[in-house]
Amino acid sequence: MADMDNKDQAEMDPADLEDVEDVEEEETGEDENSKARQLTVQMMQNPQILAALQERLDGLNGSPSGYMESLPKVVKRRVNALKNLQVKCSHIEAKFYEEVHELERKYAALYQPLFDKRSEIVTAAYEPTDEECEWKADEEEELTVSKQDEMKDKAKLEEEKKDEEKENPKGIPEFWLTVFKNVDLLSDMLQEHDEPVLKHLQDIKVKFSDPGQPMSFTLEFLFEPNEFFTNTVLSKTYKMRSEPDENDPFSFDGPEIMSCTGCTIDWTKGKNITLKTIKKKQKHKGRGTVRTVTKTVPNDSFFNFFTPPEVPENGELDEDSEVILAADFEIGHFIRERIIPRAVLYFTGEAIEDDDDDYDEEGEEADDEEGEEEADEENDPDYDPKV
């Protein structure tokens, strides 16, 4: 058979031989391209390579091309004119956000009666009617109605047993504490000793600055009488700026919180959970005697939220204070924008589930990619697990 192949090849026309060689070269090229693509896919699935590539790209982002420096003076002059136009745009944008703030203030007054009624239901000041308590189940809930019916009898018996063991609860107990515990941003601030205090929290309100006043908003935490402090309201005010910085007008990107001020908590004697007492042993250098010293030191607590670091007039802060204030601003903004308007959804966990669904999808994609990467490694004959 080999002799016949050689004979056939010898009898082929030289032009045909050239065609065969071209086909072989094309096939070789396709193989190399295929290998290159496969290698690229494997590289892009490697987290370390991706991280290095991203770091490289981040270094390139925003780096001047040098083109501006090469422009003639007459062109640079025109670019300066464009920059002046951009500054004017920033000032118009600042006016836009001022009007947005006015709209927020206007609609806050429309929301407030609803929030007040929510507070009355939570605190048992008002008992909703049967009509107000009716809730139309969505499609997903309707699908599980039959299963719920099966469990109703069992749940009813358990509820009756619980009702016998304790008094009929008023309102919605621990409403705001549950909201806080359901939100990671807030639950990270909570300590075990904060919970008995927050059980007395009845409502949270937001108040916007009056027209013509500097832009700001105040969070008010309303408490029922309790054994921990005499305040009925704890407040925190966030002052904002909505105008371009004269020294850096192009950095303007909407209103920013510039500072915040808390309030003084009038703690009952022995109930201040923001402080703790520790005992420390000290040894005398000369006599060698040992004594025990009692010291009062700061204690981790949610209520430190009401004593933020003060911002100096020059605006300069140390690194720790900057981190604390950055987190503080984020929390204040989140309470104002999300918690107060949608408190019941954070209480039930529905708002949390929506956020978790988004993260789960990303996680599933990541898992799939990791699985593909492992499969590629197993199929690679050159793969060495030690490397």
Q: What is the largest CA-CA distance in the chain?
A: 113
Domains of the chain: 95-128+171-245+254-348 (3.30.1120.90)
pLDDT category of residue 23 using cuts at 50, 70 and 90: very low
Residue 223: predicted pLDDT = 97
C-alpha 232/C-alpha 197 separation (Å) is 12
Side chain identity at residue 336, one-letter code: R
Side chain identity at residue 354, one-letter code: D
Query: Model confidence over 268-297: pLDDT tens digits?
Result: 999 999 999 888 888 777 777 888 888 889
pLDDT surpasses 50 at 91: yes
pTM of the model: 0.66
How distant, in Å, are the alpha carbons of 34, 171, 207, 302 from that of 27? 10, 77, 73, 69
Residue 168: predicted pLDDT = 78
Instruction: Give the tokens for residue 195.
Output: 């919970």
Average pLDDT over residues 150-175: 69
Side chain identity at residue 226, one-letter code: N
Query: Model confidence over 209-233: pLDDT tens digits?
Result: 888 888 899 999 999 999 999 999 9
Go through the chain and tell me how many residues it has.
387
Tokens 């703030």 found at: 101
Cβ contacts of residue 45 below 8 Å, gap of 6+? Answer: 369, 372, 373, 376
Residue 364: predicted pLDDT = 47
- Closest CA relative to residue 204, chosen from 189, 223, 184: 223
pLDDT surpasses 70 at 359: no
pLDDT surpasses 50 at 375: no
Residue 111: predicted pLDDT = 93
Residue 210: predicted pLDDT = 87
Residue 336: predicted pLDDT = 93
Cβ atoms of 232 and 205 within 8 Å: the answer is no
C-alpha 311/C-alpha 259 separation (Å) is 6
Mutual angle of helices 350-379 and 14-44, in 10-degree steps: 140
pLDDT category of residue 81 using cuts at 50, 70 and 90: very high
Residue 171: predicted pLDDT = 93
C-alpha 315/C-alpha 259 separation (Å) is 9
DSSP state of 206: E
| Exposure letters 302-311 (e unless 16+ CB within 10 A, then b) | bbbbbbbbeb
According to DSSP, the residues that pair with 71 across neighbouring strands are none
User: Average pLDDT, whole number, for the chain?
Assistant: 77
